[in-house]
Chain A
Amino acid sequence: MNDMSRVEREVDTNEIKLECRDCQVYYGDTHAIKDVNVDIEDKTVTAFIGPSGCGKSTFLRCLNRMNDTIDVARVEGSFRLDGEDIYDKRVDPVQLRAKVGMVFQKPNPFPKSIYDNVAYGPRIHGLAKNKAELDEIVEKSLRRGAIWNEVKDRLDAPGTGLSGGQQQRLCIARAVATEPEVLLMDEPCSALDPIATAQVEELIDELRSQYSVVIVTHSMQQAARVSQKTAFFHLGNLVEFGETGQIFTNPVDPRTESYITGRIG
C-alpha cells in the first residue's frame, strides 16, 4: 500500500478542490490571518504547519465556517469550493459542513452509543431511507475509520468508554459517515499516544484515495509522513506553500528553514 501511495505522490495532477484568495481573519481588533492564498487539491493530504499561535487552526476553521460560531471572529476574502463561494449569503453553513467535515484536536465522541455517534450525521442529513441502509452506512464508516473490527461486537456501548485512539478513529468514522468531500483535521493526534498516532496516520493515508484531507499539525515529522502538500504559517502569514518534499528538504524562505531546523517555534 505504501508503494501505491508513493506512486500516486509522484503523478500528482489533481484538480483544485478548494481555492482560497486574500483571506483575512480578525478576532475583535486582532488581525489573526493576513493575506493567505492556498489551493487545496482533491485526493491530496495538505498539511498546515507552524509554531503555536500562528493561525493555522484559525485558518482551518474558515474552510467550513466553524468560525461562525465565534461571535467576535470576522472572515474576509474568497473561499471557493468547486468554484462556489462558501461565504455567499445564500450558502447554508450546515450544508457546507456536510461537505467539508471536521475532526478535532481532542477526541469528542458524543455521550451516546458508538452506533449513534456514527449514525448522527447520516440521520440529521437524511442520508438513509431505512434502518438497514443506516446500518450499512454505519458499518461502512466504521470500516473506513479502521475501527470496525474493534467495536463491531459492542455498537451499543457508549463512545466515551473507548480508549483515546479508538475515540479519535470513531470521530473520523463519524465524520466520513456524512460523505464529505473535504476532511479537515485539527491536530488529530495531539492527544494520542504514539501507537494510536500511527494508527490514525495510516488511516489518513487511506482516506486520501477518496477525500481531500487538510491536516493541522504541530509535528513536522507527522507532516512529512502523511502529506503531499505543506503550508507553513508564521504570525498569521502564509510563509511558504508547496510540495511536502520540497518544503522539508529545500525551503525557499529563511523563516521556513529556521522553523524546520528548530531555531524558531
Chain B
Amino acid sequence: MTDASMQTPETGRHSVSLTATDAHTRKRANAEKRFRAYGIAAIATGLFFLVVLFTSILSEGIPAFKRTVISVDFTLTEAQRTEAEGELFKTKAYSNLFIAALKSELDERGLNVAVDEAAIERLLGKVGGTIRTFYSDNPDKIGEPVAFDLTASSRVDGYFKGRVSRDTMQDSRFLQKSDLDLVDALEEAGIVKQAFNWPFITGADSGVDNPGGAGIGASVVGSFFMMLVVLGLSLPIGVAASIYLEEFAPQNRFTDLIEVNISNLAAVPSIVFGILGLAVFIQFMHLPQSAPLVGGLVLTLMTLPTIIISTRASLKAVPPSIRDAALGVGASKMQAVFHHVLPLAAPGILTGTIIGLAQALGETAPLLLIGMVGFVARGYPDGFLAGFTEPNSAMPAQIYTWAARADVGFYEKAWGGIIILLIFLLSMNIIAIILRRRFERRW
C-alpha cells in the first residue's frame, strides 16, 4: 500500500487544457462520428428498401385498377335484329353491324382508317356474341341507342400502359402492328378510354391466356371464409389455452411440455404446417382439397401460438389485486377469471387476435400444399356453407398463381392483388392499433 503514496503522479497529460484537442482525441472523435454514420446508414438502407418496395408495388400495381374500354353508341333496330337472327352465322352478323356503327362514328369525326372484322376480334374478342347476349337479355332496349363499354384485349391494354410498344412487338394472332393504327385512331376519336377496373375487384380468375379478364374477387371470398374458420377456432381455443396456462396450470412436467411445444410451434416454418395439413386433413381425414375449410384449419394451427402468446401477455397484465378482490367476496377461481380478469384483458386479446389473423391472411406457403394453387377459381361459392367446402383460392395463393403464369399480363394483376392484400392487412393493423389506443389501461 505504501507504493501508492511513494510515486509521484504523472502530470504531463494533465497540463493540457480541456478545450484543446490533441491528435488522439480527434481520432477518437472521428471514430465516434464514423460509428454513428454506420448506424444512420443502416437505418437509411432499411428505409430505402422499404421505399423501393412500396414504390414498385404501387407503380406496378396501380395500372391493374385501370382497364382500356372501347365505348361505342350503338342502336339496333328491330329489322336489323330479325335479319341478323335469320343468318347462318348470327354472331358474325352482329359483329358486322357493330363494325358498321363504329365506322360511321369514325367517319363522322373525319378519321379514315381500315376497320376489318379480324382486327376488331383481336381488339375486342368476340364482340358479336356480347352484343347478341345483351339484346336477348334486354329486348326492350331494341331501337334505342345503347352505350356499350367493351373491354379491350390485354395486348391493347398493354399498349396504353407501356407494356406493348410498336418497336418491340411482333405480329401475332393476338395483335398486329396495323391494329395499333386503328387503336390510335380510336383514341383520337375518344372511343378508346381508360376506365376503373371493377371487374378486377369483383371478378374471378380467368384462363391462362386471358390476363385481361382475371379478377381477385373470388379469392377474396376464399380468404374471407378461411379467416372465418381461423377466427372461429383460434380465438376460443387460444383464449382457453391461455387461461389454463396463466391461471390454472400447476407447476408440473405436463405444463412445461405444453409451454415448450407452444414456443417451438411459433418457430416452425410455415411450409411444415402445410405438410401437416396435407398429410392429416387431406390424406388421412379425406377433407376436400383446395377447400377454405382445410386452409382455415391449417392456418388456425399456425396462428394459435401467436394468439396464445399475446393473450397470456394481456392476462398477465391484469394485476393480481383484481383476482384477490374477487376471491375475497367468495367467488370461485373460475368466476374470478371469467367475470373479472377476462373482460379486463379482452382489448389486449382482441388486438393480438387481429394481428394473428393479419399474419394468417398473408400466409401462402401452406396453402400451396393443400391445393389452393393451380386451381382456377372461376366463380363465387354457391352459398354460405358451400363457401367452406367448395374449392376456392385465397388472395395470396391467387397472387402466386398469377406470378407463376407465363403471360406477363398476369404480373400486373399480381401486383394489383398485392395492393388489395396490403389494404386488408393495413386496415386490420389500424383497427388493432386503434383498439389498443382506445382501450389500453395502465395499471
Chain A contacts to B: CB under 8 angstroms:
81, 84, 86, 88, 90-92, 94-96, 99, 124-127, 140, 143-144, 146, 179, 181, 206-207, 209-210
**A140 to B18, Cβ gap below 8 A?**
no
Chain B residues with CB under 8 Å of A210's CB are: 4-5, 9
Chain B residues with CB under 8 Å of A88's CB are: 18-19
Which residue of B has the minimal Cβ distance to A208? B5
Distance A94 CA – B17 CA, assembled complex (angstroms): 13
Which residue of A has the minimal Cβ distance to B10? A179
B442: interface (CB < 8 Å)? no
B109: interface (CB < 8 Å)? no
Distance A140 CA – B3 CA, assembled complex (angstroms): 8
Chain A residues with CB under 8 Å of B7's CB are: 140
Chain A residues with CB under 8 Å of B18's CB are: 81, 84, 86, 88, 91-92, 95-96, 99
Chain A residues with CB under 8 Å of B1's CB are: 143, 146, 206
Partner of B29, one of A92, A144, A179: A92
Chain B residues with CB under 8 Å of A126's CB are: 24
**B28 to A90, Cβ gap below 8 A?**
no
Distance A92 CA – B18 CA, assembled complex (angstroms): 7
Distance A163 CA – B18 CA, assembled complex (angstroms): 37
Distance A140 CA – B5 CA, assembled complex (angstroms): 11
**B14 to A181, Cβ gap below 8 A?**
yes
**B24 to A125, Cβ gap below 8 A?**
yes
Distance A143 CA – B2 CA, assembled complex (angstroms): 9
Chain B residues with CB under 8 Å of A92's CB are: 18, 21, 25, 29
**B14 to A90, Cβ gap below 8 A?**
no
Partner of A95, one of B3, B9, B10, B21: B21
Partner of B19, one of A84, A125, A206: A84
Considering the complex of A and B, which 8 residue pairs feature the smallest CB-CB distances, nearest first? A90-B19, A144-B4, A126-B24, A210-B9, A84-B18, A91-B18, A209-B5, A143-B3
Partner of B4, one of A81, A91, A95, A143: A143
Chain B residues with CB under 8 Å of A209's CB are: 4-5
**A99 to B3, Cβ gap below 8 A?**
no
Distance A241 CA – B231 CA, assembled complex (angstroms): 69
The minimal Cβ–Cβ distance linking B242 to chain A, given in whole angstroms, is 36
B173: interface (CB < 8 Å)? no
Distance A172 CA – B25 CA, assembled complex (angstroms): 24
B13: interface (CB < 8 Å)? yes
Which residue of B has the minimal Cβ distance to A178? B13
Which residue of A has the minimal Cβ distance to B8? A210
**Residue of A91, A95, A126, A181 with highest tally of chain B CB at under 10 A:** A95
Which residue of A has the minimal Cβ distance to B29? A92
